[in-house]
Amino acid sequence: MASKSSSQTPPPPPAHDVFLSFRGADTRHGFTAHLYGALIQRGINAYRDDNELARGETIEPSLLGAIESSRFAIVVFSRGYAESPWCLDELVKIVDCRRRLGQVVLPVFYDVDPMVVAELNGEYGEALNRHCRGDSAGRVQQWKEALEEVGNVSGWDVQNKDQSEMVREIVDTIWLELSRTLEVSMDNLVGMGSRANKLKELLGEDTGDDVRFVGISGMGGIGKTTLARVVYDEMSLEFRNSRCFLENVKDSFEKHGAVHVQEHLLSAVLMEKNLKVWDAHTGKVMIKKSLQHRKVLLVLDDVDSVEQLEMLAANQNWFGPGSRIIITSRDQRLLYKHGACGVFKLEGLNYIEALTLFSLKTFKNYEPSEGFEEFSMRVVEYVQGLPLAIEVLGCFLGGRSRREWESAITSLKDYCDDILDVLKISFDGLNKPEKDMFLDIACFFNLKSISEVKKVLNSCGFCTDIGVKHLVEKSLLSFSPMGKLVMHDLLRDMGRKIVHLESPGNPGRRSRLWDPEDILSVLTTPTGREEVEAIVLDLPEKEEVQLNREAFSNMYRLRLLIIRNAKFEGPIDLPSELRLLVWDCYPSESLPASFRRSKLVELSMCYSNMSRLWHGKAKMSNLKAMDLSHSHNLIATPDFTGAPNIATLIFKDCTSLGVIHPSIGSLRKLTCLSFRGCIKLRNLPSMPGKLQELYLDSTALSNEELQQIICWAVALSVLSLSSCNSLKTVPVSIGSLKQLKVLNLHGCSQLDNVPRELGGLESLEELDLSGTKITQPPLSIFYLKHLKTLSFQYNMPTKLPTLSGLHSMITTLNLGDCGLKEGDFPTGVGCLFPSLELLDLSSNNFVTLPIIGQLSRLYSLRLDNCMMLTCLPKLPSRIEFLYVNGCVSLGKMPDMKFSGGHFYFEGLDCSKLYDENGVSEDSSWPTLLRRPLLRGQEHPATLERLVFKVQGSRIPKWFTHQRDGSSIWVSLPKSPYYDDMMGLALCCTVNDLTDGSHFSKQQLGSPSKRQRQQHICFFFVSGDSIRFLLKGLSDGSACVGLSFEELPFYQLIKPGAAVEVIRCGYSIVSRRDIEDLAGTSTGVASASATIRRDDDHSPRPKKLIFEGSRSLVLFCANDFVCVRVLKVYQGTKFNMC
């Protein structure tokens, strides 16, 4: 459907509204003159042949053209009309346009009976007979057909009537019809074309006789009404006599009632004035009865309740075959609930569309005026594509001086009242709990983890599963691909303004506090704080705050308190209404005795100074979760008798904790318990039978204690015992844990065996035996039919572990540092492990590897520190991660194929590999890059991004543009070279400022030991990826500012690393370069080019078209590897010296 419509050339818009056909001798100076004048006075573009044709012009072709380019034709039939061949030829042309173009023909019977015209008798019959005897005999039949057709069209009989009243009625009818077909000017409607096409695809213009309800949803001010109007106008011709656009349905129902809206709908569709509906029920019956056989185009704009839809369009059988009903609403759920076959979720304008619309509204041009580019971009960044905000701010700023702009731009929020009022309509439609959730998110939790926010809000008594979903359906909230809640900045500002207006002059009387200055002011003012419900104090850096004990007194409604990076001194009383308390570095040794905790749902006090939480039994029946991680002074857990509903307890890294209160065994709802890093913990009391996750890593747990735990916690699914160095054996009773999925024994240095009963763990999926004394995996693991991950690293077996018996579901296998030699690793590994995805063989003694190309699902291969390894076999086509750090004998790389489009290679300390593959400052394109690029030329869709990390301190010369520092300007070629560009090669030298190990999130084994050094990072990004990034911003001849600062790339490779980017460079890769690669062994044509040192920090731009935080994604894994795109200049030239 889309391709068909797009291939047709739309007809030109009508040049005239009305064409008047009349016999001049009969009516020119009488009725027709009055009618023409009345049309012109009403603003209707009427055409009269003697008024617009220039003297000397051949009249007939011009006249026929005027007829064809008119929307309506009014034919004034007078007694002498049929006497004129001229008039009859006009009529034939009008009938032709009626049949072919859908022109509307309206007859006026001035002084002749309609039956005379339709039946061709009387004066008309006599005139036609005379024509038959004259020169016009050949055209008479056409005239007869035209007269008969138009004579039978309903029109106006003016005989014996008040002509002025008739003229008024004719003009009113034309005006009403025109007002229903007036097109919205597209001049200022930016970005609507593509969105309208998508909506029409949902409407299914060519899908036959089915009746379709289609919705448009989105936040207020996003352009729902505008889009509906555009599509309505484009489809109006098909629904000429049965269409209606009902705007602001919600407001109309509130102000005038359902009956008024029903009357409006019926009057518009049936084209009847003063149509009366007695009551809403009768109106429903009338709408269904009148429209169920009509093909109707109906727009119901801004609907917010099912009741409104039930009154106007209850279901599809109210309308005739082929009808299309468009409903706009902020509530997506409402649209689906009413039976919409599709809902178009309208998103904001992209950057270039927003900048264009803002420029049109502000400067009456398609780009910002000179000197206002930076200001304009700041406005566009702030409004985030919301058309309403763009128009309001554009109109406000238009025509103002630069100084006024400078003043306004720093406080844009102050000029958005009209925008926020529109957005607030959605807020006003929420119930009380939903409003509270919205305000909490707006004030505290925008861009936070969905799961974490839900946990916090649940602690405050909200039902988030339904509430958050409803906010999303109301277009007040959305989810990011990274699992975060996203609220538009203007909606956030609207929510915060609602809170601010609760008490503009006194923060202590507001329900929520998030600004540090407001919070500290309130906490140091002892009175007038009764309205505060929630406080989040999250300082950017750790700061010492002086507060007295009564800082939180009189906050009788405080339910949520989160404090981070604030250092307090001494004991502080806490309000009793708290449901959620998160306080990092809590200063006191225990919770205040006066603190009544009965309503507390979640308590988190990481890094606290507490030695004990409370004394005796505390009534905390609502408490569900407690986290005291890193509280190094905590020596004992409290009595949990008064907290029977706790589900999660975390005491991670409480290094002084040695005593666990026996009441923990009575917590029947406890499912997760962590004592990880509690190095003094030697024994545990009995555990609850429903416990599912137990973390005892790095504790002093004995074999006997583990035996008791297994007997108690029969429902465990996760048991983590890593680095429990007192543990020598695993009890035989381990086989009773039938629900256990994860067993972690990593680093239990004294453990020398596991019982055969391990094979009875029928649900086990992950088993880690790395770093133990076990030299041979027990045969029992071959009975683990659900095992997916097996790690046996650092274990030096007396003979090769048998692998052939392992289940084929294994996806992750770690045999690093197991002393494996040439021939030890089995052949036919692809048959043994068809599901294998991650394989770690680091620190073994291979010279060559067996064929692993059959591992069709393998995407990560780690071979770090295999010092004897000389070459690699053919790698699987799906491989995305390859690590060969420290493989000093490796020289030959295989010919790699990339079915996934991404490839990440890391090879530090591989001197032979560098020598044999040309990785040096003076070399040309290295083989490491050459082979993937050649592969990408043969199969362009298979190569999107490459990342290479190798040893070195200087960028090779074949990067033709280089400069010191962490940012560089990339000058893109002009079209057609821009369109033909294969990609962009980037490079940077990085100084690792941190000592210690190197550990990747993709790595399965231990860190490889390596000293601090400089690295070179190579990136290749395909031309398609660059063109997609700059879509709408550039068609070539542009300069892109890139920054490698805070390179997320290193967070993937080495989390927490401190790095410094010393130098960076780039080179454009053309198809010619790739072709030259195929025919040479030394490099490409551009490789010999002189290095151009891009040291000019101040380009001379023609037009700045983008500035912001957009990123050029270089690789995707668990995190993004990217560099920031700082600015894009169109048509910029650099001085490069």
Q: Are 980 and 1026 spatial neighbours (Cβ–Cβ below 8 Å)?
A: no
φ/ψ (deg, to 5) at 232: -60, -45
Three-class DSSP category at 1006: coil
Q: Are 130 and 138 spatial neighbours (Cβ–Cβ below 8 Å)?
A: no
Q: Are 221 and 386 spatial neighbours (Cβ–Cβ below 8 Å)?
A: yes
Structure tokens at 759: 């094979």
Distance CA 326, CA 1090 (A): 62
Q: Which of 344, 406, 349, 347 is closest to 375 using CA atoms?
A: 406
Kindly give, in sequence order, each residue whose CB lies less than 8 Å from that of residue 41, ignoring residues fewer than 6 positions away: none
Catalytically annotated residue among 90, 123, 533, 944: 90
Residue 304 DSSP code? -
Measure CA 814 to chain center. Answer: 36
Type of residue at 742: V
Contacts by 229-232 with C-beta closer than 8 Å and gap 24+?
229/184, 229/299, 230/184, 230/186, 230/189, 230/192, 230/196, 231/196, 231/199, 231/200, 231/203, 231/326, 232/297, 232/299, 232/326
Q: Determine the Cα angle at 472 with ends 466 and 475, to 5°.
A: 145
Structure tokens at 556: 């009788």
**DSSP letters for 830-882:** HHH-TT--EEE-TT-B-SS----TT-TT--EEE-TT-TT--B--PPPTT--EE
Three-class DSSP category at 582: strand
User: Rg for the chain (alpha carbons), in Å?
Assistant: 39
Q: Is 123 noted as a catalytic residue in this protein?
A: no
Angle between helices 387-397 and 373-383 (to 10 degrees): 150
Question: Where are the strands (E) in 863-940, listed by range?
Answer: 881-883, 901-907
Percentages of the chain per state (helix, strand, coil), in multiples of 5: 35, 20, 45
Distance CA 689, CA 1003 (A): 35
φ/ψ (deg, to 5) at 31: -60, -45
Distance CA 723, CA 744 (A): 9
Q: Which of 988, 1053, 1008 is closest to 909 using CA atoms?
A: 1008
**Cross-strand partners of 1115:** 1121
Distance CA 52, CA 15 (A): 12
Sheet of strand 16-21, all strands in order from the earlier edge strand to the far edge: 46-47, 16-21, 70-77, 104-109, 156-157
Q: Are 638 and 646 spatial neighbours (Cβ–Cβ below 8 Å)?
A: no
- Cis geometry, peptide bond prior to residue 11 (ω within 30 degrees of 0): no
Q: In which residue are the tokens 């909506």 written? A: 199
Distance CA 116, CA 743 (A): 100
Distance CA 935, CA 943 (A): 8
φ/ψ (deg, to 5) at 293: -115, 10
Structure tokens at 1112: 């050029």
Q: Provide the 10 A C-beta neighbour count for residue 1027.
A: 16
Active site residues: 90
